[in-house]
Amino acid sequence: MIPSEIKATLASLGARPNKKLGQHFLIDEATLDAVVAAGDVHTGDMVLEIGSGLGVLTQRLLDAGAQVHAIEQDRLFIPYLEKRFTGRSLIVTHGDASVIHWHDVVGSGPWKLIANLPYSITSLALRKALYTPKPADRVAVLVQKEVAERAIAKTGKTSLLSLMVALASSSARVTRRVPAGAFFPPPKVESAVLEIQTLSSPDRVARWGMDPEKIMEIARRGFAHPRKFLSSNLGIDPAVLSGLGLNPKARAENLSPEQWAELGKVMVR
């Protein structure tokens, strides 16, 4: 859809871009291609899409053979989507994706999260996709560029977000940087396509030697006051860090995912 088509469609629905819901409609064909490619979509794939809007990405997913379960918070769009895709493999659920239990939508089989995410729920959406009883097999989302880069940050720049992603995935990367002009209306920031290939729950335990959720529980305490030393945040003797070959004055961001896992093993003994 081009901007004039979006304006006309919104007018016919009595709607306008909703800033509160973070509505920025994707109008760039190359970016749409990049999102679908990052999702590695095949016929029969079950895809969860958050915020279908006017169905631009939905169309591409359906054309690629996916069965799409969409969660859409804007009630005005639901009749439009159901009419536009009558007879196609699309189920639309009205509601707030940050509140809905996704497993009630996707069921117990394999699934992927592929979406142009509202910026305000990015971290929560990634957590809901990666840390559920049945995690997504793959995540391909269009998010704020700064957040995407933080999600794949390496040692020395670790954040709760990057640790959360690293512990749950075999790989995570930015596949495309997207300018503001790729959307209507354009946001005030640049975006990026974030691709995450996930690990199954058993594979995570095998890789890290413990449940990553337990590591994250410790990490949340460690990052509680980022400027303080890690030992202070965790209430442990700095010698514990020294015993792991770490700087006793290290801060939470200084530890790699591997080092967080080793620290986790010590603290849950």
Distances (CA, A) of 252 to 145, 158, 235, 236, 247: 23, 8, 13, 13, 11
**Are 68 and 8 within one domain?**
yes
Average pLDDT, the chain: 93
Nearest to 46 by CA among 73, 65, 63, 60: 65
Residue 20 is predicted with a pLDDT of 77
**Are 53 and 136 within one domain?**
yes
3 pLDDT more than 90: no
Domain boundary among 171, 199, 227: 199
Rounded CA Rg of the chain: 20
Residue 221 is predicted with a pLDDT of 97
Residue 22 is predicted with a pLDDT of 78
Write out the DSSP string of 173-219: EEEEEE-GGGEES--SS-EEEEEEEEPPHHHHHHHHSS-HHHHHHHH
* Cα torsion through 41, 47, 52, 58, rounded to 10: 40
**Are 142 and 240 within one domain?**
no
Please say whether the dihedral angle defined by the alpha carbons of residues 179, 192, 66 and 70, taken in this order, is positive or negative: negative
**CATH no. for residue 57?**
3.40.50.150
pLDDT tens across 165-183, in order?
Answer: 999 999 999 999 999 999 9
**Are 166 and 249 within one domain?**
no
Work out the average pLDDT over 56-84.
95
Domain boundary among 162, 182, 199: 199
% residues pLDDT > 70 (the chain): 99
Per-residue pLDDT band at 212 (split at 50, 70, 90):
very high
Work out the average pLDDT over 32-44.
97
Residue 18 is predicted with a pLDDT of 78
Per-residue DSSP letter, 121: G
Nearest to 216 by CA among 263, 155, 156: 263
188 pLDDT more than 70: yes
Per-residue pLDDT band at 253 (split at 50, 70, 90):
very high
Residue 188 domain boundaries: 3-199
10 pLDDT more than 80: yes
Work out the average pLDDT over 205-225.
96
**Are 164 and 219 within one domain?**
no
**Are 84 and 135 within one domain?**
yes
| Distance of alpha carbon 88 from alpha carbon 67, whole angstroms | 8
Query: CB burial class (10 A; 0-12, 13-18, 19+) of residue 245?
Result: exposed
**CATH no. for residue 226?**
1.10.8.100
11 pLDDT more than 90: no
Nearest to 32 by CA among 4, 56, 8: 56
Per-residue pLDDT band at 155 (split at 50, 70, 90):
low
**Are 30 and 92 within one domain?**
yes
**Are 164 and 217 within one domain?**
no
**Are 35 and 88 within one domain?**
yes
Domain boundary among 199, 216, 236: 199
Locate tokens 């239990």: which residue? 101
Residue 68 is predicted with a pLDDT of 98
**Are 82 and 114 within one domain?**
yes
Cis peptide bond prior to 257, omega within 30° of 0: no
**Count of structural domains within the chain:** 2
Residues 196, 138 contacting (CB under 8 angstroms)? yes
**Are 12 and 69 within one domain?**
yes
**Are 82 and 214 within one domain?**
no
% residues pLDDT > 90 (the chain): 84
Work out the average pLDDT over 194-198.
98
Per-residue DSSP letter, 4: H
137 pLDDT more than 90: yes
Strand 112-116 vs strand 138-144: parallel, antiparallel, or unpaired? parallel
Work out the average pLDDT over 151-169.
90
